[in-house]
Amino acid sequence: MALESPSKTQPDALADCANEPIHIPGSIQEHGFLFAVEEPDLRIVQASANVREYLGVAVEEVLGRTLGELLPERDLPAMLGALTQEEQNPIYQGDVTLGPRQQTFALFMHRFGGVLIVEFEAPVDSRLGLNTLYPMVRVFIEQLHQAETVDAIAKLAVREAKRISGFDHTMIYRFDEDGHGQVLAEECDPGVPSYLGLRFPASDIPAQARRLYLANRIRVIGNAYYQPSPLQPQTNPLTGQPLDLSFAQLRSVSPVHLQYMRNMGTLASMSISIVVGDRLWGLVLCHDRQPQRVSFQTRTACELFGRVLSLQIDAAETHAESDRRLALRQSMVQMLSTMADRDSVCQGLLELPQVFLDFARAQGAAIISSDGTELIGQVPPREVVDSLVEWLSVNVKDHFVTDNLAKDIAELPQLAQHAAGVLAVPISELHSHYLIWFRSELVQVVNWAGRPTKQEGSDGRLSPRQSFVLWQETVRGLSLPWSPLELESAIELRNAVRGIVLRKAEEMAELAEELQRSNKELAAFFLQRVPRPAGAAAPHCRLCRAAGRHRGRQAVGPGAALPGEHRFVGTLRRQPGGQPAELLADGASRDPLFRRQSHRPGGSHPRRDGAGLCRAAGGVAHRPPACRHRRCRLRPSRLAQSAGQCHQIQSLRRAGGDRDRHLAERFRGHHLCPGQRRRFQHGLCGQAVWRLPAPAPCR
């Protein structure tokens, strides 16, 4: 490829090479000729210059004529009807005889870019016919089912490709994430240089060439010294653009690539694309030290071979990925089950340190949570890990992955001294909590097929490297790359951990709510069982036993207390919001309020009416309202004085006494209406603390 000026630098020359429009070369290879035809009248608007050599007429005499004049005996409408809109590759339309020498040509047609392209390919003496090629491909397909790994498939494929094509050297060439290619398997004749295990730089096959390999799955160069035949005119009259030959069989190739082949000692080549999914996985390369044409029948068999090979490699990789995904899921389930049984995520992961490391094929890990920073395996010092966490919280919103720490986190040079790769996923949306895996440096010795640089000559032309002898490069500072599956699994683990944390938080909230409800019920129980000032309550077990001993033995009246019950007093503490927080048993001597009321002159006990409660608790117990029964004449003060007898009434009722008789005895002299009497019978007299029935004594 000629450069615009010899003063260009090497990067500029490489950029020009990478941007070379190889799909519109403006010329074809010499083993055939080509027409660009306008439809529907099939008038020839472009032709290759070598029509004189094959047809014996000048290009100017061909332009403007119709295809029907050139092929009078062919059914052109039927040929055109066989072309479909979906199919862009050339379709074989049979053999035709043309020219003064009555030479036979293979006829191909295809439409692309709104132009009908007709190609005439010179005949080839093929040693293999369709009757021989089909059994060969069938045997290969049967053998593929026995190969389970990609390496086994590659070894089988190169042997079969050599047998079908007849070339003296075949290779399986695989691309990595950076675009570099590596030879996985090869089959060659004695004396042919071996490239097994060697790498070829990504610049050997630029991006536009890869796109073309992805679209057109087979390309043949019969002779590296061929003389290209230009198209006339160079611009297509129908489109006003150069003719796009992306799918043409005779498309010419870049002069740089031809020089590349000659430097390798290769004079003929055939490339078969291996497409997995929608990406160019690799190539089957067939080289020969002598010029070699490939017949249409052989190309068809090789294209079918390449498509079957692509499917088998896709299946093998999918199977291997499924096995790896299953192993990751098993490790994840093991870790999650352990975390669910522990109080925290950190404790669960620390129970399975090796599983946690093997999950990401890492040598070290760190768990940053509310419990602190926990380190596992080969990790940087704690202060360096803390610096990494701070950097992540500032610079990264979600997950972070790198296999080159020195390059991607230049702000922390001390981190690269202890690790080369990092995978970090956050487990909290509010705090700087992370799961981090570390990978150690993996020193690699890369075996290149020659020094991976192109050279620029004194004439300004870019030239490929002259030698393909082994050239080694030592690469440092990198770790084993993180696979997309490992990153996906780490994110899935992060989501599961967040779910566990959320569930534990919900359980704690539910437990707190249950405890709060239990405290309320416990407080209500004590206040109902033994009413006394709201600041004091008695432990129910001891109090009930005391109440049981004296039940029925001593008459109780308004304002009286059960014997000994003042000795069991507790303190009911309240939170600022007024909700009970805890109930503590204590002696009466520690309660100044109760002690002061219990030892008044005369030895009388504190009054148990609603008014007394209200005065003792400072307004906590509300004054009971007047009865709303229409026949009730009892004032609120009288009702409050009577409220303290609910406990004794219920105790006597449970003891089997007559309710009416006890009511008459206890409330003789009080004017109670029927509604108030029913309230006392059911323990619902006037005050919230009396609404629950008094429980039975503890045994």
Better-scored residue on pLDDT, 690 or 602: 602
Tell the burial category of 145 from Cβ atoms under 10 Å away from its Cβ (0-12, 13-18, 19+): exposed
pLDDT for the residue numbered 271: 95
pLDDT reading at 160 higher than 70: yes
Q: Tell me how crowded residue 587 is: count the other CB atoms within 10 A of its CB.
A: 13
* Mean pLDDT, rounded, for 70-84: 86
Residue 128: pLDDT band by 50, 70, 90 thresholds? low
* Mean pLDDT, rounded, for 613-634: 40
Q: What are the tens digits of pLDDT across the range 212-253?
A: 999 999 999 999 999 999 999 999 998 999 999 999 999 999
Main-chain dihedrals φ then ψ at residue 568, nearest 5 degrees: -115, 95
> For a pLDDT cut of 70, what percent of the chain falls above it?
70
pLDDT for the residue numbered 490: 93
Distance CA(154)–CA(693), nearest Å, equals 85
pLDDT for the residue numbered 446: 81
Whole-number Cα distances in Å, 68 to 101, 110, 112, 614: 20, 17, 21, 116
Q: What is the mean pLDDT of the chain?
A: 76
Output the CA torsion sign for 344, 350, 353, 355: negative
pLDDT for the residue numbered 8: 41
Contact of 25 with 243, CB cutoff 8 Å: no
* Mean pLDDT, rounded, for 183-200: 92
Say which DSSP state 192 is in: S
Distance CA(171)–CA(141), nearest Å, equals 18
* Mean pLDDT, rounded, for 311-340: 91
Better-scored residue on pLDDT, 457 or 304: 304
Distance CA(624)–CA(603), nearest Å, equals 27
Which residues lie across from 182 on neighbouring strands? 174, 199
Residues in the chain: 699
- Both tokens assigned to 336: 């999650």
pLDDT for the residue numbered 610: 38
pLDDT reading at 654 higher than 90: no
- For the whole prediction, is pTM greater than 0.85? no
Residue 27: pLDDT band by 50, 70, 90 thresholds? very high
Residue 354: pLDDT band by 50, 70, 90 thresholds? very high
* Mean pLDDT, rounded, for 620-644: 41
* Mean pLDDT, rounded, for 112-137: 79
Residue 641: pLDDT band by 50, 70, 90 thresholds? very low
Sorted by sequence, the CB contacts under 8 Å of residue 506 that are 6+ apart come out as none
Better-scored residue on pLDDT, 66 or 561: 66
pLDDT reading at 685 higher than 60: no
* Mean pLDDT, rounded, for 81-106: 86
pLDDT for the residue numbered 482: 93
- Measured distance between the N- and C-terminal CA atoms of the chain, rounded to whole angstroms: 104
Residue 30: pLDDT band by 50, 70, 90 thresholds? very high
> For a pLDDT cut of 90, what percent of the chain falls above it?
39
Contact of 265 with 449, CB cutoff 8 Å: no
Which range, of 137-141, 430-434, 502-506, 554-558, averages the lowest pLDDT?
554-558
> By three-state DSSP, how is residue 677 classified?
helix
pLDDT reading at 357 higher than 90: yes
pLDDT reading at 52 higher than 70: yes
For residue 606, whether the previous peptide bond is cis, meaning omega lies within 30 degrees of 0, is no
Main-chain dihedrals φ then ψ at residue 439, nearest 5 degrees: -120, 140
Q: What are the tens digits of pLDDT across the range 370-412?
A: 888 999 999 999 999 999 999 999 998 889 999 999 999 999 9
pLDDT for the residue numbered 457: 57
| Domains (range + CATH), the chain | 27-121 (3.30.450.20), 127-232+253-321 (3.30.450.40), 342-444+476-503 (3.30.450.270)
Distance CA(436)–CA(459), nearest Å, equals 54
Contact of 387 with 409, CB cutoff 8 Å: no
Output the CA torsion sign for 355, 356, 359, 360: negative
